[in-house]
Structure 1
Amino acid sequence: MQISRVGVISNPKLDPGKIKTIVECLDSGDVTLYFDPHTAEKINQKPTDADSMDVDVVVLVGGDGTFLWAASKVKPDTLLLPINAGGVGYLSEISLDTAGDGIQKLLRGDFHVEKRMKLSVGERYEILNEAIISTTLPATLLEFNLILDGSETINLKSDGILVSTPTGSTAYSFSLGNPIIHPHTKAYIVSPISPLRRDRAAIVVPSTTVLTVELVQEEGDANLILDGQCRETLPAGTSMVFRESEHTADFVRFSGDFSHHYVNIWERRGWDG
């Protein structure tokens, strides 16, 4: 694949000097560059909104939060190259220290594409990591019906509901005691958050499952939080439908070693000893 149009999106708090280093690497190739408004302002370039970038690949510089935000904004099926400049960086194969070599491989077309499942949430949203429906008032339970494929119904009371993709299984889902799922697994996790009854455990359902989450209590709102961003307030009686998206998150990868998912997780969490 010939790369000729490249977008650059960075964490708004990132030092401009680090962004310029990435830009210098990209300038070594015959490519046209586009920058999101935060990045453009830092390096005095013309801005382009993330959702308006018509590019072959978007280079993402930051941490997993930046990568998740960008994945929700860019046009579907746009290639994503995450460069870790933040913390753990589960979604990134390269860091600022190795970015030069990675970008040269990108421009040569020396890479492969890893496709990760996304979920659609209602009619408006998609997630790569997780969705949370949570109470707006501390110490106040919500009541849910979880309806699987329009037939099987689970009723429960809890502080909230977490719906996680395999990619998101290393995040909030993991802190709830749920398993880490390989990102290529065709399934997703549905987990109550602090359920009233202990027997309301998390379930793993096939990716073909259509999940309807109903807020069945008579009063009390809930927050809908998608990949770390609060999207809207859901009033009592609201239903939200989750299903596998027709789109995937398409990541640029350079090495087959990155597919050694569990080893990467152990090392980045400090479990390698």
Structure 2
Amino acid sequence: MKVAVYGIEFQSSVIPFVEQLFNLLREREVELWVYGSFDSFLSTFMECGTWKVFDKRDDLPSDINFMLSLGGDGTMLSAVSIIRDSEIPVTGINLGRLGFLASINKNDISSALDLLLKGDYSVEKRTLLSVSSSSQPLFNGDSFALNDITVLKRRSSAMITTSVYLNGELLNAYWADGIIVATPTGSTAYSLSCGGPIILPDSNNFVITPISPHNLNVRPLVISDRDVLTIEIESRSNEFLLSCDSKTTDLHTDVKLTVAKADFLVNLIRLKEESFLSTLRRKLLWGIDSRNY
């Protein structure tokens, strides 16, 4: 069994859980591959000489069974940017707060690891978004997102005008702080916080959600994942922010964006008795009514 482990620095309070995980992996004689910068961090509090180190996807052997992400949902998104289109299944052990994507509770590491090593899990294929510009490369080629692609104002004072074209036809000129284009996976993240709907993972849709729009009759819009969006920005500062999951860059308003479905999928691991709907109820308290308690 070969397992890749990705992570970032974390608080000292979760060190016992991480040590438990690596001890269990050693006991089961798993061949481990640990992300380079994470290996350096782990070496500050534990012995790290029993595994191999990788810095990019091409460093990993082709027969890696799955990747473990140690951290919160942001860490999980970064792990996806490493595995890209390799089809390596990935799951996350939540060392943070909500942990909607990183769904394995740190108190359940032993039982979850048993299921993973036995292959007692299912794989959900999740759609991603890609963003591009004909005038310049974006994010060094890592211009895809499992959650969302977001356009935001650069300065804190004035709103921006975001003109969105759907398959070449003007959809709307959003006068707002920005817009979010989210996948079904990302519909429970930033888009939800801005009033967007929750979309089931296999629905073949995206959602466009305005961020604090000035026109109150502008609402989120669900579109097909076959649609292609073209985005143009007007701003007093002639700048705007573009985020692609955990990656962010400053761009000039001369840059026009194209947002569409990415040409590959990501394999997310679901353990036994775990589903999107059960996670929705448990993590987001979906449908919980305090009058019943």
Task: Check whether TM > 0.5.
Answer: yes
The equivalent of 1:48 in structure 2 is: 54
1:244 and 2:243 correspond: no
What is the CA–CA distance in structure 2 between the aligned matches of 1:201 and 1:103, rounded to whole Å? Answer: 42
The equivalent of 1:183 in structure 2 is: 201
The letter for the 2-side match of 1:258 is E
The equivalent of 1:83 in structure 2 is: 93
What is the CA–CA distance in structure 2 between the aligned matches of 1:218 and 1:150, rounded to whole Å? Answer: 25
The equivalent of 1:96 in structure 2 is: 106
Contact 2:126/2:266 (<8 A) preserved: yes
What is the CA–CA distance in structure 1 between the aligned matches of 2:21 and 2:192, rounded to whole Å? Answer: 33
Cα displacement (A) at 1:58: 0.9
Over residues 129-165 of structure 1, what are the superposed CA-to-partner deviations in whole Å (9 max), with x where a residue is unaligned? 1121111111212122211112344223221111111
SS in 1 for 2:120: coil
Cα displacement (A) at 1:67: 0.6
SS in 2 for 1:195: coil
Mapping for residues 1-273 of structure 1, pairs under 5 Å: 4-15=1-12, 16-41=15-40, 42-43=42-43, 44-45=48-49, 47-51=53-57, 52-54=59-61, 55-76=64-85, 77-122=87-132, 124=141, 125-217=143-235, 220-230=238-248, 232-255=249-272, 257-259=273-275, 261-271=276-286, 272-273=288-289
Cα displacement (A) at 1:244: 1.1
What is the CA–CA distance in structure 2 between the aligned matches of 1:97 and 1:72, rounded to whole Å? Answer: 27
CA 1:39/1:98 → structure 2, altered by over 3 Å: closer, same or farther?
Answer: same
Contact 1:136/1:223 (<8 A) preserved: yes
Larger deviation, residues 81-90 vs 215-224:
215-224
Contact 1:116/1:248 (<8 A) preserved: yes
Cα displacement (A) at 1:214: 1.2
Cα displacement (A) at 1:85: 1.7
Contact 2:150/2:180 (<8 A) preserved: yes
The letter for the 2-side match of 1:227 is D
The letter for the 2-side match of 1:192 is P
Superposition TM-score, scaled by structure 2 size: 0.83
The letter for the 1-side match of 2:23 is E
Question: What is the Cα-based RMSD across aligned positions, in Å?
Answer: 2.1
Over residues 28-69 of structure 1, what are the superposed CA-to-partner deviations in whole Å (9 max), with x where a residue is unaligned? 334321111233121434532143433331111111111111
Cα displacement (A) at 1:14: 4.5
Cα displacement (A) at 1:235: 0.5
CA 1:99/1:181 → structure 2, altered by over 3 Å: closer, same or farther?
Answer: same
Cα displacement (A) at 1:216: 4.0
Identity among equivalent pairs (%): 26
Contact 2:158/2:236 (<8 A) preserved: no
The letter for the 1-side match of 2:94 is N
The letter for the 2-side match of 1:66 is T
CA 1:158/1:75 → structure 2, altered by over 3 Å: closer, same or farther?
Answer: closer
What is the CA–CA distance in structure 1 between the aligned matches of 2:236 and 2:70, rounded to whole Å? Answer: 45
What is the CA–CA distance in structure 2 between the aligned matches of 1:62 and 1:156, rounded to whole Å? Answer: 35
Cα displacement (A) at 1:240: 1.1
Contact 1:53/1:75 (<8 A) preserved: no
Gapped runs of 5+ residues in structure 2?
none
Cα displacement (A) at 1:178: 1.5
Gapped runs of 5+ residues in structure 1?
none
What is the CA–CA distance in structure 1 between the aligned matches of 2:203 and 2:97, rounded to whole Å? Answer: 25
CA 1:39/1:218 → structure 2, altered by over 3 Å: closer, same or farther?
Answer: closer
CA 1:75/1:188 → structure 2, altered by over 3 Å: closer, same or farther?
Answer: closer
